[in-house]
Amino acid sequence: MREHTVLGHVALGYSPMVDRRRDVVATRLTIFPERPDALATPAEAGALLAALESVWPRPEAPAAGKAMRPLDPVAAGAGTPGSPRPVSLNIASEGLLQAVLASRPGGQFLVEVPAFMAADPAHAPALTALHAAGTVLLIKGRPTKPLAPEVLACFSHSLVDVSEERRTDAANAPPGVRKITTVQTGVRSAAEAEQAFRRGSVAVLGWTFEERATQASKKPVPADVTVVLDLIKGVEREEPVQRLEAMLKREPTIAFRLLRYLNSPAFGLSVEVNSFGHAVMLLGHQRLKRWLALLLASSSNEPGAKVTMNAAVRRGLFMEELARPHNDNEMAGEMFLCGIFSLLDRLLRQPVAQLLEGVPMPERVRLALLGEGGPYLPYLQLVQAVEQEAMFDIREACERLLLSPLDVNVALLKALKGARQVD
């Protein structure tokens, strides 16, 4: 992926698009060129799309006689089991956006178009042509004047920021308010997401995490979570395989999910793993702990936990990729754990300090999770800046770690690709 040198001239941020069922149905990728006038040629835009296609490949051509159906995260059902999640491109540069539109992006890309561009008659031919070709377009913001009917018809959804929302509920829309469905942007909490859905939004953009727990939850820890925690402790002590398998038999669904992860393309094994004992033999105790951590991050049944699980997996893979240039397997494994466990308190509704009492954790990881310093905390802060799509924070974190934009963006796209394979 490093051959895509165009990635060295942008900063990337990402966030999820979440529907009413709290399913993550798409990824939003925000692209900040290093300069407002950078990457404004069709060749440069084409190079950028080629880099992104290494993660989100073009959909296969339809069978003879069947039309290609555009990937729309709401209307076309992307995000249902087995279907690919598309990526919504939020391009923070008019010149680069125009070049991307001229490059005819594939059907796996949703493209966000600012309202001021949609209202400009000069862009109408390009927008109508893209819509006719099957590109899913989203209008970002509220136009200052009504759009021409043929232009309005090009957009599947409107993106409206929380700060600009005028509706109070789904049945009470002021005159002249959107006639197409709404995706709410700027959402930063589960409470804000709930309010957006009550106002009639079909999806929200943002990390809709619950607030951090300050005291232990009164709910008992779910049985499957207890089993995974016991397994992690057993693996840490390198207990005999027979004893670990006995723990696993307490929750057969855990065994099924673990084997599903181990046999996923993201793991890259050349043989199929058919038992827990086989996994220990192939991997050893320490490598297996990585996948138990992934399993723990996906074990919560809390409402809205899907978004947090989605983030935890991506954080772990992202931090692991950031560690790879150091050629230190121990560091890469610990960075993976740091990313995965950084949201465990929100998943299990337990304070961080209390959780760490019951989970074996390397000291460098523990320090980062508690916010007390150590070598991994700056990497975790970089990941959080990328999640918040905060360009200046991303650049500051990169400078602090002596990382180039190319280093960070390659790591991010590899992590997002790996996460798609695990999903």
Is 324 strand, coil or helix? helix
How many Å apart are CA 281 and CA 187, to the nearest integer? 45
According to the model, what pLDDT value does residue 346 have? 85
CA neighbor of 183 nearest in space, from 15, 305, 306, 308: 15
Domain assignments of the chain as residue spans, ordered by start:
5-205, 223-422
According to the model, what pLDDT value does residue 82 have? 45
According to the model, what pLDDT value does residue 163 have? 85
Is 3 strand, coil or helix? coil
How many Å apart are CA 397 and CA 384, to the nearest integer? 10
According to the model, what pLDDT value does residue 316 have? 92
Amino acid symbol at 314: R
Domain 223-422 part of CATH 2.40.440.10 = no
According to the model, what pLDDT value does residue 357 have? 83
- Cα distances (angstroms) measured from residue 171 to each of 18, 143, 174, 201, 420: 21, 22, 10, 12, 37
- Cα distances (angstroms) measured from residue 210 to each of 7, 213, 305, 308, 348: 33, 8, 9, 9, 11
CA neighbor of 185 nearest in space, from 169, 208, 153: 208
According to the model, what pLDDT value does residue 60 have? 67
CATH superfamily of 5-205: EAL domain (3.20.20.450)
CB–CB of 330/338 below 8 Å? no
pTM attached to this predicted model: 0.86
According to the model, what pLDDT value does residue 252 have? 75
According to the model, what pLDDT value does residue 229 have? 83
Q: In what helix (H) or strand (E) does residue 27 lie, and over which residues does it extend? A: strand 24-33
According to the model, what pLDDT value does residue 78 have? 42
DSSP letters along 123-177, please? GHHHHHHHHHTT-EEEEES--SSPPPHHHHTTEEEEEEEGGG---SSTT-PPTT-
According to the model, what pLDDT value does residue 234 have? 85
According to the model, what pLDDT value does residue 220 have? 67
Check if 5-205 and 223-422 are the same fold: no
Amino acid symbol at 297: A
**Structure tokens, 201:** 């939004």
How many Å apart are CA 48 and CA 11, to the nearest integer? 12
Q: pLDDT tens digits, the chain, 423 residues: what are they?
A: 778 999 999 999 999 999 999 899 999 999 999 988 888 898 999 999 999 999 999 876 544 443 333 434 454 444 444 456 899 999 999 999 999 999 989 888 999 999 999 999 999 999 999 999 888 999 999 888 889 999 999 999 999 998 888 766 655 554 444 468 899 999 988 889 999 999 999 999 998 887 776 676 666 667 777 888 888 888 888 888 888 888 877 777 777 777 877 787 766 677 888 877 887 777 777 777 877 888 887 776 666 788 988 999 899 999 999 999 999 988 998 999 899 989 988 888 888 888 888 777 889 999 999 999 999 999 999 999 999 999 999 999 999 999 999 999 999 999 999 888 776
**Structure tokens, 225:** 């979570």
CB–CB of 214/351 below 8 Å? yes
According to the model, what pLDDT value does residue 71 have? 39
How many Å apart are CA 340 and CA 418, to the nearest integer? 14
Work out the burial of residue 226: count CB atoms within 10 Å of its CB; fewer than 13 is exposed, 13-18 middle, 19 or more buried: middle
- Cα distances (angstroms) measured from residue 164 to each of 61, 179, 185, 194: 40, 16, 10, 17
